[in-house]
Amino acid sequence: MSDKPLLGNRKLIRGLNRSTVLNTILAEGAISRAALSKSIGLSPASITNLTAELLEQGLILETKQGESRGGRRPTLLEINPDGGYVVGLKLTDRQLIGALTDLSAKVLSNEVTTLDGSQPEQIVEKIAGTVTSLLKKAHVPRKKLRGVGLGLAGVVDSQNGISRQHPIFGWQDVPLGALLQEKLKTLVHIDNDVKALTTAELLYGAGQGVSEFLTVTIGRGIGLGIVVGGQLYRGSRGGSGEFGHIVVDPKGQPCSCGKIGCLETFVAEPALLQSGQCAAENGDLDPFTTLDELINFAESGQTAAVKLFSTAGQVLGREIANLINIFNPALVIVSGEGTRIGELIFSSMTAAIKEYAMSTLKSDTEVRIDPWGDDAWAVGAASLVLQDFFSSPINRRKAAVPRA
Ligand SMILES: [Zn+2]
């Protein structure tokens, strides 16, 4: 077979090799040029050439931490964390959560502010203020900012930077990417918050090196990130993964999406609070206002609270079993603020997965509960920009709006 068409696009091939080198260095942590050459299958001369370019761009650096085998210690290559900085932001119903990270996704400064309003212009202003404040706190000059990533709820067309449907603010087709680009004058990526979190798992977390995995988030809503063939699956226009809105009981409770009996009406935080309130009104529980109080009730053995969480876990586990039957993932990562409920929900969830997933497929799947950190959403959003450094030219997504 002639390789002429490939030679006709040297720039593309070079871009592919460059991303493979960067990804291998990221995955290995530290690696010698010889090991890179062996692992990737490129000639030592090509590796020297590509790594020289990456060194010059400040994206990688040389260290001498390698194991010595009698002789001098080999020079290893690592990602240069100070090669650039990005800001990741998560927009919730009431707050803007932000973090500034280096290229290894390490958080250097963070900030949580309360929203002044939900109009797009108000959000843009709030974001601009937070970006400035995060840079200042970390003593990073604005010229070293490589981009801003924003994760938000609902259906997002990340290719074109459009919030197609925001379930809380009622937005329809808001060109948020363009508005932010105009204000911030830097590269901007926006995406659904769960997809952003899944991107972070893929690049830096438990999903590193796993080509088929799912991320299920529990919190104010129930989310799903799908990774197939090492790539995030977005659906035809960015709407994949609305796991929280699969119908569990058509005769059930009304859902925020306008339908009846969705998974969220059984498992999401507002649903848990509502079930708790019903139990309190019936005199089965003491009065309470927050989810943490409800968790405390269950931990101290109040039967109605224990039952409420275990029922939610059972419903969730059954639906995760359905996902396992459809996707045959190697890994399911359970994440989100709701993981703080802990074993109260997970023991029944795990039992239901075992009961309802096909046993052969279940044995292929590891289910892992992610320890939740407050910065996780923001780091996820930061990784929307970070992935630009590591993705191949074929898979690289267009920025929300081209660089000014
Ligand atoms: Zn729904």
Instruction: Tell me the per-residue pLDDT of 236-290, one tens digit each, with 9 for 90 and over.
Output: 888 899 999 999 999 999 998 889 999 999 999 999 999 999 999 999 999 999 9
pLDDT confidence band for 29 (50 / 70 / 90): confident
In this prediction the pTM is 0.84
Buried b (16+ CB within 10 A) or exposed e, 267-304: bbbebbbebbeebbeeeebeebeebeebbebbeeebeb
| Distances in whole angstroms, Cα of residue 310 to Cα of each of 272, 315, 336 | 11, 9, 18
Question: What CATH number is attached to the domain comprising 13?
Answer: 1.10.10.10
Paired with 78 in beta bridges are 61
Cα-to-centroid distance, 269 and ligand 1 (Å): 14
pLDDT of residue 268: 96
Same domain for 311 and 244?
yes
Residue 399 lies in a domain: no
Paired with 191 in beta bridges are 151
Is it the case that residue 1 has pLDDT exceeding 50? no
Tokens of 76: 């290893």
Same domain for 351 and 258?
yes
Is it the case that residue 33 has pLDDT exceeding 50? yes
Residue 398 lies in a domain: no
Is it the case that residue 11 has pLDDT exceeding 70? yes
Residue 396 lies in a domain: no
Considering only CA atoms, which of 191, 186, 187, 182 is closest in space to residue 159? 191
At which of 79, 104, 126 does a domain end? 79
The answer to whether the CB of 107 falls within 8 A of the CB of 168 is no
Cβ atoms within 10 Å, residue 337: 17
Same domain for 244 and 360?
yes
Structural element, H or E, at residue 147: strand 145-152
Cα-to-centroid distance, 165 and ligand 1 (Å): 13
pLDDT in tens, 301-341: 999 999 999 999 999 999 999 999 999 999 999 999 999 99
pLDDT of residue 28: 83
Cβ atoms within 10 Å, residue 149: 31
Residue 404 lies in a domain: no
pLDDT of residue 396: 56
Structural domain for 105, as ranges = 83-200+377-390
- Give residue for tokens 């830097």: 186
Region 166-194 average pLDDT? 95
Domain count, the chain: 3
Tokens of 258: 């306008």
The answer to whether the CB of 401 falls within 8 A of the CB of 124 is no
Cα-to-centroid distance, 261 and ligand 1 (Å): 7
pLDDT in tens, 228-248: 999 999 998 888 999 999 999
- Give residue for tokens 């690049």: 203
Same domain for 287 and 171?
no
Cα-to-centroid distance, 310 and ligand 1 (Å): 21
pLDDT confidence band for 73 (50 / 70 / 90): confident
Cα-to-centroid distance, 248 and ligand 1 (Å): 10
Average pLDDT of the residues of the chain: 90
Same domain for 213 and 311?
yes
